[in-house]
Amino acid sequence: MPPPAHDTPSAMPDSTANDAPESLISCRNVIKRFDGRTVLDGVTFDVHAGETMVVMGGSGCGKSTLLRCMIGSHKIDSGVIELFGQNVCTLRPEEMDDVRKNFGILFQSGALFNSMSIAENVALPLQEHTDLDPSTIEIMVKIKLELVGLREHADKFPAQISGGMKKRAGLARALALDPRILFYDEPSAGLDPVTSAEIDRLIVGLTRKVGVTSVVVTHEMDSAFTIADRMVMLDKGRVLRVGSRDMFDELRRLPDDQAKDLPEEDRLIRQFLRGDAEGPITERKAATSYAEDLLRQPQTAKPIGPSIEATRGWGFRRRKETLP
């Protein structure tokens, strides 16, 4: 059986766009280095209007860095990132502020102000960025809280609500200015499976209800397959593949006897999607002998987190049990 067809290798423009859908985000050959260490290495892909694009890959492969580059909070070393057709790398700060009003961000923690009620947290962007009168803001806050199922909890403080509710509140705040794009970094991190499934349903529901375009960074495969229209897989700062959820799903479901003849890259993607304990990711990790590994240790150890080489050990949170 031939490997499933896919959209693009990393350096090529994303060609899912046969009928040229509108691109709200475009990344072209994005390179980002930290202290000379290349963390994003020629990342190229588009996000189309109205879709949910999931960015996946092992821990440390550059997902959060990519997201921060997209929202203009990290400067890239080369390449181009366009949001709504504007190159965010060359915008003046005040121009970037205008672009910022058109996107919302939900970071891992939800990042609420603890001294403010949920309603006050959601009202804040409206007070800061609009001239709306308080009674209009109050109505808008109610609408956003209703969207995330928190209207009855408007007057509670962050310390009085659960982790899942904090995420919902963060989401209501991210939605306050009716953004065209929502960015999420690991939206279900730290939540139990039931709550995390609830957040996934909320993301899917929001895309339908308000038509927002979403970029979701995650390494949670169940979550990724629930919410994605398309997916981009990163590996060591490079795009391994961009494609539809169905394309990745076909690869994930391919039986072992058919998968063994796939090219190494397809087997690697399949192993990650399935969370299998055995496959090219683990083989590549084991390729260095124990002795070599020990001897190399002093040179590779760096005070500021793992190097790009260290991302070889893809971080699985869940693995299929293959041991007896």
Ligand X SMILES: Nc1ncnc2c1ncn2[C@@H]1O[C@H](COP(=O)(O)OP(=O)(O)O)[C@@H](O)[C@H]1O
Cα dihedral 77, 34, 10, 82, rounded to 10, equals -40
User: Is residue 64 a contact residue for Mg ion (CB under 5 A)?
Assistant: yes
User: Is residue 305 a contact residue for ligand X (CB under 6 A)?
Assistant: yes
Strand 78-83 and strand 181-185: the pairing is: unpaired
Nearer to ligand X, 8 or 65 (CB): 65
Shortest CB 53 distance to ligand X, Å: 15
User: Is residue 60 a contact residue for ligand X (CB under 6 A)?
Assistant: yes
User: Is residue 23 a contact residue for Mg ion (CB under 5 A)?
Assistant: no
- Pattern of binders to ligand X over 115-144, x per CB under 6 A? ------------------------------
Sequence letter at residue 260: K
Length of the chain, in residues: 324
Q: List the interface residues with ligand X, window 23-42 (CB under 6 A).
A: 34, 39
User: Is residue 188 a contact residue for Mg ion (CB under 5 A)?
Assistant: no
Closest to 112 in 3D by CA, of 169, 44, 58, 150: 169
Strand 78-83 and strand 23-34: the pairing is: antiparallel
Q: CB under 5 to 8 A by kind: which of Mg ion, ligand X, none does 291 bind?
A: none
Which tokens is 323 given? 């041991």
Q: CB under 5 to 8 A by kind: which of ligand X, Mg ion, none does 4 bind?
A: none
Whole-number Å distance between alpha carbons of 269 and 273: 6
Shortest CB 63 distance to Mg ion, Å: 5
Sole window of 98-106, 247-255, 285-293, 302-310 interacting with ligand X (rule: CB under 6 A): 302-310
Nearer to ligand X, 36 or 263 (CB): 36
Report helix angle 193-210 to 163-174, nearest 10: 20
CB 21 within 8 A of CB 49: yes
Whole-number Å distance between alpha carbons of 62 and 120: 33
Contacts to ligand X by CB under 6 A: 34, 39, 57, 59-65, 304-306
